[in-house]
A = this chain, B = another copy of it.
Amino acid sequence: MAFMKKFSFELEKEDGKARIGKITTAHGEIETPVFMPVGTRASVKTASPDEVKDLGAQILLGNTYHLYLRPGTDIIKKHGGLHKFMGWNGPILTDSGGFQVFSLGFGSKNRKNERLVKIKDDGVEFRSHIDGSKHFFSPESVIKMQKEIGADIMMAFDECAPADADHNYARKAMERTHRWADECIADNEKIKPLYGYGQSLFGIVQGVVYKDLRIESAKFITNRNFDGIAIGGLAVGESEKVRNEMIETVMPYLPKDKPRYLMGIGFPQDILNAIERGADMFDCVLPTRLARNGTLWTYEGKLSILNAKYSKDLNPIEKDCGCYACQNFTRSYILHLVKESEVLGIRLTTIHNLHFMMRFMEDIRNSIKENKFEKFKKEFISKFS
């Protein structure tokens, strides 16, 4: 049985190192640079899939770790994949679960003084954060789950070492990541897609904050037949300066004709810094998580809607914003809703922040088309920070 691969990337234009491109998947096209809203548990928190689509989201991210634990990939498979389960017909990217396994368990020990995460050469044994039950993720199981989920873009299983790991440990984690990358490629050949469309696979560059390791990892991963290259292990505690250095270190080794995904980055300044250095894809829970705490992003900067000064403010969240929240409701009303824990409040703040992100990414793409990215970046940051 042959499946159409249905994945391609076309680099359309560069402005300095910033680039615009187009990814084609079985569930549609994606213009890059792109921000991917996070739907950890098969839902972008508070929003319906139709709202997310109407906001202009081109692709969503799902979390293999969470979906594996609940509802379980068997239930998703029974629905014919995550797209059908959650009612989202656009492209989906799933992480490999590696980040969650390590970040949820790293350094943690149970009452018997046992590590909650045991890293072995063939995979990772860990305990569920929900009920403490024991589980094992391997390159093969992670590919199998992502096939069952039916992600358009799957991620290789990697070890995401913490930002303060020493060079010795960082090398070990990187080498394990490389072995697992090769295993994932082999498993991807072996395990066929279940739903009649091809699924692509991205490799992940690791190496913590060590330039030599980052270069070695970039060379290794780009030398494999991945459909796209991710930079992992950043935004985990390192400084902005170090983060930018790591991106600059890796980028020259990445092929121009593959998309570059900087994992877990979502703060506007960080996205601008990364695009300036050649990154194409981003994901982060920050815009939606902050929204639920009442923190809103606008082109004029951040605001906390719970600030008492907005209690009688009849303006929208942001003056020239076209989102449903800004077109229909006042700051005063939204403050009231969020303060009273009315669900509509966090729905409206989520809609605003996601709309902001979509508008922000579109403005970035337009600025690159017009060779004005640096100007856009400078003007944006002068108001936002």
Residues of A within 8 A of B (CB): 41-43, 45-49, 70-71, 75, 78-79, 85-87, 311-312, 314, 324, 328-330, 332-333, 336-337, 339-340, 342-347
Contact = CB atoms under 8 A, between A and B. Distances in A.
Given A42-B333, A332-B71, A342-B41, A314 B86 contact: no
A77 B332 CA distance: 12
Contact of A328 (B41, B87, B311, B340): B87
Counting from the closest, the 4 A-B pairs by CB-CB distance are A46-B343, A71-B336, A43-B342, A43-B344
A75 B342 contact: no
Contacts of A344: 43, 45-48
A66 B71 CA distance: 38
Contacts of A314: 78-79
Contacts of A41: 336-337, 340, 342
Nearest to A330: B79
A69 to B, nearest CB: 10
Given A71-B311, A329-B87, A337 B78 contact: no
Nearest to A343: B46
Contacts of A42: 333, 336-337
Contacts of A75: 311-312, 332, 336
B311 A45 contact: no
A85 to B, nearest CB: 6
Given A78-B312, A87-B329, A333-B85, A339 B48 contact: no
A334 to B, nearest CB: 11
Contacts of A343: 43, 45-46, 343, 346-347
13 contacts: A41-B336, A41-B340, A43-B337, A43-B342, A43-B345, A45-B343, A46-B344, A48-B324, A78-B314, A78-B332, A79-B332, A85-B330, A85-B332
A45 to B, nearest CB: 6
Contacts of A345: 43
A240 B132 CA distance: 48
A148 to B, nearest CB: 14
Most B CB within 10 A of own CB, among A70, A71, A85: A71
B333 A86 contact: yes
A341 to B, nearest CB: 9
A303 B182 CA distance: 49
A355 to B, nearest CB: 15
A9 B345 CA distance: 36
A179 to B, nearest CB: 34
Given A86-B333, A333-B86, A339 B70 contact: yes
Contacts of A340: 41, 70
Given A45-B342, A70-B336, 7 more contacts: A48-B347, A70-B339, A75-B332, A78-B312, A78-B314, A78-B332, A79-B330
Nearest to A86: B333
A98 B329 CA distance: 29
Contacts of A47: 344
A325 to B, nearest CB: 10
Nearest to A346: B343
Contacts of A86: 333
Contacts of A79: 314, 330, 332-333
A346 to B, nearest CB: 7
